[in-house]
Amino acid sequence: MKKRPSIKKRRTKNDVNSGISSVDQSNHESVECISSSLSMNIESIKKRTGHSPDIKFRKVDIGKNSGMKSVIVYVQGLVDEITVTDFIIESIMNSPRFSSEIMPQEAIGIISEEVVSMGGITTEEKWDSLYLSLLSGDTVIFVEGSNVALIASTQGGETRSIQESTTNTVVRGPKEGFTESITTNIAMVRRIINNPDLWVESMKIGSVTNTDVSIMYINGIAEKKIVGEIRSRLKKINIDSVLESGYIEQLIEDGTMTPFPTLHNTERPDVVAGTLLEGSIAIFVDGTPFVLLGPALFIQFFQSPEDYYNRFFIASATRFLRIFVFIISLIGPALYVAVTTFDQSMIPTQLLIMIAAQRESVPFPAIVEALIMEVMFEILREAGLRMPKAIGSTISIVGALVIGQAAVQAGIVSPAMVIIVSITAIASFATPSYSMAISARLLRFVFMISAATFGTYGIIMVFILVLVHLCSLRSFGVPYMSPLAPLIPSEVGDTVVRRPLSGRKARPKLTTADNKIREGEHQKPQAAKDTGMVNAFYQKRGKRGSK
């Protein structure tokens, strides 16, 4: 007969299990919490950081007669060492506020409130938060006998100074651009928008890198639903590293199966300020000068900051030229392939005879010519970007001239094809947004293959498909082609052309909340109707002439 296990044994087993869990819990708590022993805290930091030599430890006596010890910990290169030395170490060593009767907990309060003459001092009891602050450039202060550490904000070190933007250059307008420091970038925008409604929310993204990411918007102007959507998408990101804002862009955009960018990026503070005033939300990422802007509309990628600094006639003509040039960069080679292969009747007779004479010695069809030249130009463009700056532009220019001339003389391509591809390559650089220009470079090959297969009908077919695809895109729920599709007549004045500033009374309806009015009434400048001064001038001049 089989014996049943006794209740005593079962209880003993449960006691053992509970004992193991209690031991694990106590060990977990001991690992999480800061110790009151300086030596244990120093050893914990050294072990956790792999005895890294850039983690500096300074043992400091608190006061002159207290007998208490402290340790100052900071990361070399991430802190302002002059601040650490003058405002923390020397203040703690030379302060007369300490005596032998003061307890460690009291010393912590005295250091934070009276001794260290700088703002941003907080207390910390957990190792995880302490490591996060330490590796962000803060200084940690341990006191012997206290299980609470002080965190002093001493971020500094060498950073790139504010310089002119290299990707969004303008003739007229501010010349400063963002840097790799997120605090500097946020401050640059705050200098432009001096308003307490400019709100900033910060978070950490990346389980390994713990990258600082901040969203900025103007309360009362930005649509709260869009702000909430961006906030929720950022909080859902679970990734080990964020090295550039491109990581964030790919993880929060509405759809990835599109060559067109659905978030705008810029290096210019004035562009960020201008889009914030229209209800957009800016996303700052530490370590990159490129700030993301959303929701993004298709027409925004053809707008330049100086469009709003020049007169509206000039700005409208320039903006129309950019869109026209973008279409050339998209379908230029494809149109040449279509008319020379299928629709020769569209070409004037004299020009057709000249093109036929040039192509007489070329052994390849027009599509092969176009593909050879386009691939060659893409290789030269990429090589020019990757080469050292001193010789990169020289290689790209000389390489294009030499290879193009050699290809014509060898009979591989015709001179007309070299001209078409060169014009297309130059046109692609006229698009203000680099991400939109890359999209045109990719779609150009689709148009060329379709033109070689179906002629001009193929170009029209792909063009319609691209338009349908653009109309189906969304940027945080906002239609990508608005205000053209859906049509919002009151906002069309800032699309292909730009109306005068005096006529831009309302903000965009789809991206703004309650504050939709951007300017008051009667803003249009009026010429003086009183001509008395002019008449008096001519009368006086006439009297002098009669004398």
Tens of pLDDT, residues 354-365 = 888 888 888 889
Please name the helix (run of DSSP H) or strand (run of DSSP E) that holds residue 199, with its range, or none. Answer: strand 198-205
b/e 483-505 (16+ beta carbons within 10 angstroms → b): bbeeeeeebebbbeebeeeeebe
Q: Mean pLDDT over residues 89-118, rounded?
A: 84
Higher pLDDT, residue 171 or 537: 171
- Give me the numbers of helices (H) and strands (E) for the chain, helices first please: 18, 12
Of 31 and 434, the one with more pLDDT: 434
pLDDT over 70 (residue 216): yes
3-state helix, strand, coil in the chain (%, to 5): 50, 15, 35
Average pLDDT over residues 425-446: 90
Taking residues 323-334, report their average pLDDT: 93
The pLDDT value recorded for residue 547 is: 52
Per the structure block, which two tokens stand in for 97? 């506020």
Residue 45 reports pLDDT greater than 90:
yes
Distance CA 381, CA 233 (A): 36
Residue type, 38: L
pLDDT of residue 231: 95
pLDDT in tens, 459-476: 999 999 999 999 999 999
Backbone angles phi, psi at 234, to 5 degrees: -65, -40
What one-letter code names the amino acid at 25? Q
Task: At 264, give phi and psi (nearest 5°).
Answer: -90, 150
pTM here?
A: 0.84
Q: Give tens-digit pLDDT for 275-295.
A: 999 999 999 999 999 999 999
Arithmetic mean of pLDDT over the chain = 85
Higher-scoring residue by pLDDT: 304, 67: 304
H-type alpha helices, 165-296:
182-192, 224-235, 245-252, 269-276
Could you tell me what percent of the chain has a pLDDT over 70?
88
* pLDDT score recorded for residue 390: 64
Grouping H, G, I as helix, E, B as strand and the rest as coil, residue 371 is: helix
Dihedral sign computed on CA atoms, order 225, 491, 198, 480? positive
Kindly report whether the peptide bond that precedes residue 483 is cis, defined as omega within 30 degrees of 0: yes
430-439: average pLDDT: 90
- Which amino acid would we find at residue 34? I
**Residues 110-120, mean pLDDT to the nearest whole number:** 82
Handedness of CA 317, 318, 319, 325 (dihedral sign): positive
Sequence-ordered list of residues with C-beta below 8 angstroms from that of 483, at least 6 positions apart, any chain: 490, 491, 492, 495, 508, 510
**What's the pLDDT at 530?**
57
User: In what helix (H) or strand (E) does residue 151 lie, and over which residues does it extend?
Assistant: strand 149-152
Please state the rounded mean pLDDT for residues 137-150.
92
User: pLDDT tens digit string along 393-426?
Assistant: 666 666 777 777 888 888 888 888 888 988 998 8
pLDDT for the residue 302: 93
The DSSP result for 286-308, as a single string, is: TT-SPEEEES--GGGGG--GGGG
pLDDT of residue 52 exceeding 60, the answer is yes
The size of the chain, in residues, is: 547
Q: Looking at residue 544, what is its pLDDT? A: 58
Q: What is the pLDDT of residues 152-204, one digit of tens each?
A: 999 888 888 888 888 888 888 899 999 999 999 999 999 999 999 999 999 99
pLDDT, average across residues 9-14 = 40
Angle at which helices 366-386 and 434-454 cross, to 10°: 160
Q: Which residues contact 37 (CB under 8 A, 6 or more apart)?
A: 144
* H-run or E-run covering 124: strand 121-124
The whole-number pLDDT of residue 397 equals 66
